[in-house]
């Protein structure tokens, strides 16, 4: 038996060297994989992103967390914690046992991911590249489904459907456009600008091919955020050129029959007109308006404690049986509006925690939109666009009622914040 003290550290030295070689590629792989995981592959594989980051952080084995947690970190983690706790407690109170854990665990997993991001300090290049490639892949797939296969609406990979796929594609495209400020700071900037621009256009294509109209409502606000980040740094000629290209793209998507955009817009306008005129025919528009009406009336009955998921569905079916609404609406398990869905199911705590989940990233990233640093500004614009997009999507569909929706939102939020909080500092006059 060897007792030489000089021999013992060798396995530890080799192990530490192996860990140092592994944690960087693991973190890069996670960020590169992020957009693919929710747009192109079956969404449960998205769990691999935080798991890879956590594994990489364990391999890194660093003791220092770069001043973590700072005040902003504490606020973000508290909001994520309370949002998940609200799901669990309310469902328990309404006799659903641990059903709320199904919706809370993706949010809580994102909290741990933030700690991993702070430990690793990965390069933002992997995040932006993953977004662009994921968006381009989704756009190409949507084109194949809609034009080549002739499906009525591109819907991506099961269990996604057209609404989820199209809106997530649009959000990813918008995030790619936010990355243009970062691309302009790169050595080979024109190649990066082209990649991010293609990612942005592909996201718009995925949305158009899916026919998901709800996401288009918030496009003016998203364009305004992008203009705040990029527009004022462009000459008038470039602003006019970009504006003309955007109008030409949107016009083409509307005019080309194969995209189905014109038909979907016409159906939406027609549905509103029929509902206002008192037509009893149930369209997608009138169904949403009736579900919002029903959810609002249920909220008025229990504004504080809510109904819980099971009792909400039972109450909606009962309304249909009583003739207060179309009986077919009883088959829907959410209110097709995130604010109403959170309030009617989880009461006032659900509403407040949802609003905090929306408002916190706006508070975290707001000042960075005017940053003189292109890298910092890109992350700030993306961090602002994330809640703007989900607020938009949540107007006509309950995105955060799905565990996948909560995971995408929370995971992108902590990744963006982890990158932003360590982005290069700048002179005071660079902030607006």
Distances (CA, A) of 356 to 171, 304, 344: 20, 17, 17
What pLDDT is attached to residue 295? 94
In total, the chain counts a number of residues equal to: 432
Number of domains in the chain: 1
Residue 334 within any structural domain of the chain? no
What is the rounded distance in angstroms from the CA atom of residue 249 to the CA atom of residue 205? 10
Residue 333 within any structural domain of the chain? no
Residues 347, 340 contacting (CB under 8 angstroms): no
Residue 295 within any structural domain of the chain? no
| Ramachandran assignment for 199, one of left (phi > 0), alpha (psi -120 to 50 degrees), beta (any other) | alpha
Residue 153 within any structural domain of the chain? yes
Q: SS3 of 296, please?
A: helix
pTM here?
A: 0.89
- CB count, 10 Å around CB of 171? 30
What is the rounded distance in angstroms from the CA atom of residue 370 to the CA atom of residue 380? 9
What pLDDT is attached to residue 63? 55
Of the chain, the percentage scoring pLDDT greater than 70 comes to: 83
What pLDDT is attached to residue 8? 47
What pLDDT is attached to residue 76? 96
Domain that includes residue 410, residue range: 20-264+369-424
Closest Cα partner for 328 from 380, 273, 287? Answer: 287
Mean pLDDT for back-to-back runs of 10 residues, the chain (432 residues): 45 49 78 87 87 85 68 94 94 84 90 88 91 94 88 80 91 94 89 93 90 84 89 71 73 65 65 66 83 94 93 92 87 92 95 96 92 91 96 92 92 95 62 39
Residue 310 within any structural domain of the chain? no
What pLDDT is attached to residue 343? 96
Residue 197 within any structural domain of the chain? yes
Residue 322 within any structural domain of the chain? no
Token readout for 263 is: 């038909």
What is the rounded distance in angstroms from the CA atom of residue 401 to the CA atom of residue 399? 5
What pLDDT is attached to residue 41? 85
What is the rounded distance in angstroms from the CA atom of residue 388 to the CA atom of residue 255? 27
- Kindly tell me the sign of the dihedral angle through the C-alpha atoms of 209, 214, 218, 222: negative
Residue 311 within any structural domain of the chain? no
What is the rounded distance in angstroms from the CA atom of residue 334 to the CA atom of residue 344? 10
């Amino acid at each position: 038996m060897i007792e030489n003290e000089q021999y013992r550290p060798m396995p530890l030295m080799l192990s530490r060297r192996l860990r140092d070689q592994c944690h960087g590629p693991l973190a890069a792989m996670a960020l590169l994989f992020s957009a693919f995981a929710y747009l192109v592959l079956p969404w449960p594989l998205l769990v691999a992103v935080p798991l890879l980051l956590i594994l990489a952080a364990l391999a890194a084995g660093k003791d220092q967390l770069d001043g973590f947690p700072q005040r902003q970190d504490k606020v973000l983690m508290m909001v994520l914690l309370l949002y998940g706790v609200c799901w669990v407690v309310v469902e328990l109170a309404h006799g659903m046992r641990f059903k709320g854990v199904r919706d809370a665990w993706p949010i809580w997993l994102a909290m741990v991911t933030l700690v991993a991001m702070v430990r690793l300090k990965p390069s933002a290049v992997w995040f932006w590249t993953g977004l662009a490639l994921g968006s381009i892949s989704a756009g190409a797939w949507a084109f194949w489904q809609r034009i080549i296969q002739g499906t009525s609406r591109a819907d991506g990979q099961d269990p996604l459907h057209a609404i989820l796929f199209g809106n997530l594609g649009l959000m990813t495209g918008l995030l790619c456009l936010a990355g243009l400020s970062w691309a302009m700071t790169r050595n080979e900037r024109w190649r990066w600008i082209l990649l991010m621009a293609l990612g942005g256009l592909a996201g718009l294509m995925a949305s158009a091919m899916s026919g998901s109209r709800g996401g288009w409502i918030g496009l003016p606000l998203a364009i305004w955020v992008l203009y705040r980040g990029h527009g004022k740094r462009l000459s008038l000629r470039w602003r006019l050129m970009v504006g003309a290209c955007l109008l030409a793209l949107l016009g083409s998507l509307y005019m080309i029959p194969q995209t189905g955009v014109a038909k979907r817009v016409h159906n939406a306008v027609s549905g509103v007109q029929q509902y206002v005129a008192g037509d009893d025919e149930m369209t997608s528009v009138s169904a949403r308006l009736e579900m919002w009406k029903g959810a609002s009336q249920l909220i008025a009955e229990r504004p504080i404690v809510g109904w819980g998921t099971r009792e909400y569905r039972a109450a909606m079916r009962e309304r249909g049986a009583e003739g207060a609404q179309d009986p077919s609406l009883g088959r829907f398990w959410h209110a097709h509006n995130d604010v109403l869905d959170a309030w009617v199911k989880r009461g006032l705590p659900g509403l407040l925690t949802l609003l905090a989940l929306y408002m916190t990233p706006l508070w975290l990233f707001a000042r960075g939109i005017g940053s003189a640093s292109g890298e910092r500004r890109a992350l700030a614009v993306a961090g602002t666009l994330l809640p703007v997009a989900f607020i938009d999507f949540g107007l006509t569909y309950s995105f955060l009622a799905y565990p996948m929706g909560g995971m995408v939102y929370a995971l992108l939020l902590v990744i963006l914040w982890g990158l932003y909080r360590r982005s290069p500092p700048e002179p005071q006059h660079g902030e607006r």
